[in-house]
Amino acid sequence: MPARASAADRDGALFSAASPAPAYAFYPTTHALSDDIGAEDYRQALEHSNAAARPLALYVHLPFCRQACFHCTRQPVITSDTRLPESYLSRLDREMVLIRRHLDPAREVRSLHWGGGTPTFLGLNQLSDLIDRLDARFRLASDRGREYLVEIDPREADVLTLRHLEALGFNRLSLEVLDLDPEVQQAINRIQGRGLTEQLIDEAERLGFHSVNLDLIIGLPRQTRDGFTATLAQVIAMAPERLSLFHYRHHPERFPIQRHIRIAELPGPQETLAMMDTAYRMLAAAGYVHLGRERFARSDDRLTKDRLAGRKCERHDLLGLGVTAVSRLEDLHVRNPLTLEAYEAALDQGRLATAAGHRLSLDDRLRGAAIETLMSELTLDLAALGDAFDLDAEAHLAEPLWRLAVAEREGLVERQDQRLLVTAKGRLLVRQLATAFDAYPLTPLPRQSSHAS
Ligand code: SF4
């Protein structure tokens, strides 16, 4: 057993706040995609998906921003030329036409999400133009239960913008607040007064938008526990229905704009953990329920009620439109090109812009389900997981479970027969815990050696 013990101790680094961990919005993450998968695979998967007739979710990526924020990981197109979206909109329209050819027209779009970049970089006429094109190409739902969300940079929207978006059919908003501390805002090149957000929240409520979400980020330069506590107190006073608490990922080798950030100004792992712990406590005291991952919602919000009632979200096929956009069908993930030039060139040649993808194996889907459940519910029932996939999950996931044995000794998870439970200490590191299941890790994971078992 000594070999196993020493390996396991080395593996402890896997579960520290300093170890890199993706957000796992989906699994496998985009770095597992390969250019072996292309437009023809996407076309076939679109046609195949019609048989299951799942509702559609559309994500439209609008990449333009007026000014670069130094923490940004979205690789936006920085410009002040407000005519630039015109040619982009015509490419989006071509992409819609190409995709629609392969879809059953009866399939309804239940969920629409405009993200960026800054969607409201587009003028009001351009926003109208985009919704008209979407409406012409797809069957957009019009009932109150649809989820039509737009991301808002409060510096780039006013009450008129919100009124316009509401008239176009949007019923949900997500506002990027990040941090209200002027020192932090200066360090990320994003000066954004609190009044901008308050004004938009008030107007959103008056217009009948539901479940307004505010995005905050932990781990930004010059962030301190006191400063972030002050931000949280102000945000809680605004009483949004939902809050997302994201983690800053510092990868200047992938996101060159982050070279403007001074490493010495980043909070250390312990300070980051302390901020997260403070945030969890303050939000709980204010009546917010942690819904797993980075999500919090007020107890009167639909998401919280659904969670308490055990209701699951409806499954969609996700179609991504635009540069960098990702689409997810039953067993295929594909991504569009990362540059505007490559995206536009593909569509100008009359072909789907798919640049990379990944065909999911049974193992991918099993691990993805394990990650999703662990991160969303902070628990994982191996017996239920095995039943869902008709296999012995404990045997199939022996290596990830071996890695998690270290986390168990550190009090981050508890094992009760077939159930893994993330502890109060472990929930602060749940992304790192999830990496144990990742077969395509960002950095190599420890492996169970044959003489260690
Ligand atoms: S953080 Fe948002 S607003 Fe800032 S540059 Fe990135 S995409 Fe644009």
- Going from the N-terminus, what domains does the chain have, and what CATH number goes with each? 2-21+361-439 (1.10.10.920), 33-308 (3.80.30.20)
Task: State the pLDDT at residue 315.
Answer: 85
Contacts of 157 (CB under 8 A, 6+ apart): 120, 200
Our CA angle for 112, 116, 122, nearest 5°, is 90
Q: What's the CA gap between 44 and 51, in Å, rounded?
A: 12
CA-to-CA separations, 113 to 26, 48, 110, 192, 409, in angstroms, rounded:
16, 24, 10, 24, 41
Query: Which amino acid type is present at position 392?
Result: D
Q: Whose CA is nearest to atom 7 of ligand 1?
A: 117
Ligand 1: nearest atom to the Cα of 76: 7
Residues 184/225, Cβ–Cβ less than 8 Å: no
Nearest Cα residue to atom 2 of ligand 1: 117
Q: Is the CB of 267 inside a 6 Å radius of any atom of ligand 1?
A: no
Question: What pLDDT, on a 0 to 100 scale, did the predictor assign at position 306?
Answer: 85
User: For residue 244, what are the β-bridge partners?
Assistant: 215, 295
78 in contact with ligand 1, CB cutoff 6 A: no
Where would I find the H helices in 188-251? 194-207, 225-238
Ligand 1 centroid to 67 CA: how many Å?
8
Helix axes 225-238, 269-285, angle to 10 degrees: 30
Is the beta carbon of 118 within 6 A of some atom in ligand 1?
Answer: yes
Atom 4 (ligand 1): residue with closest C-alpha?
A: 69
Q: Which two tokens stand for residue 188?
A: 């990320």
Distance of CA 55 to the CA centre of its chain: 20
Q: Is the distance from the beta carbon of residue 448 to the nearest atom of ligand 1 less than 6 Å?
A: no
> Can you tell me which residue has the tokens 């998967």?
45
Contact 16, 434 (CB under 8 A): no
Establish whether residue 69 lines the binding site of ligand 1, counting it when its CB lies within 6 angstroms of any ligand atom.
yes
Confirm or reject: Cβ of 428 under 6 Å from ligand 1.
no
Alpha carbon distance 180, 174 (integer Å): 16
Say how many Å lie between the CA of residue 92 and the centre of ligand 1. Answer: 21
For residue 81, report the distance from its CA to the centre of ligand 1, in Å: 16
Residue 295's φ and ψ, nearest 5 degrees, are: -95, 135
Q: Which atom of ligand 1 is nearest to the CA of 71?
A: 1
The answer for 61, left when phi > 0, alpha when psi is -120 to 50, beta otherwise, is: beta
* Ligand 1 geometric centre to CA of 66 (Å): 9
How high is the pLDDT of residue 444? 67
Query: Is residue 100 helix, strand or coil?
Result: helix
Q: Taking the model in full, what pTM does it have?
A: 0.92
* Cβ(117) – ligand 1 distance below 6 Å: yes
Is any ligand 1 atom within 6 A of the Cβ of residue 151?
no
* CB distance 428 to 31 below 8 Å: no
At 21 the pLDDT is 87
Each residue's pLDDT, cut to its tens digit, for the chain (453 residues) gives: 333 333 444 444 667 777 878 889 899 998 899 999 999 999 999 999 999 989 999 999 999 999 999 999 998 999 999 999 999 999 999 999 999 999 999 999 999 999 999 999 999 999 999 999 999 999 999 998 899 999 999 999 999 999 999 999 999 999 999 999 999 999 999 999 999 999 999 999 999 998 899 999 999 999 999 999 999 999 999 999 999 999 999 999 999 999 999 999 999 999 999 999 999 999 999 999 999 889 999 999 988 888 888 777 778 999 999 999 999 998 999 999 999 999 999 999 999 999 999 999 999 999 999 999 999 999 999 999 999 999 999 999 999 999 999 999 999 999 999 999 999 999 989 999 999 999 998 776 777 664 433
Cα dihedral sign for 59, 65, 69, 73? positive
Kindly state if the Cβ of 435 falls inside 6 Å of ligand 1. no
Q: 387 φ, ψ to 5°?
A: -60, -40
* 369 conformational bin, left if phi > 0, alpha if psi -120 to 50, beta if neither: alpha
Q: From the CA of 76, how far away is ligand 1's center (Å)?
A: 7
Long-range contacts of 255-258 (CB under 8 A, 24+ apart): 255/72, 255/73, 255/75, 257/68, 257/69, 257/70, 257/72, 258/70, 258/71, 258/72, 258/73
CB atoms within 10 A of CB 416: 9
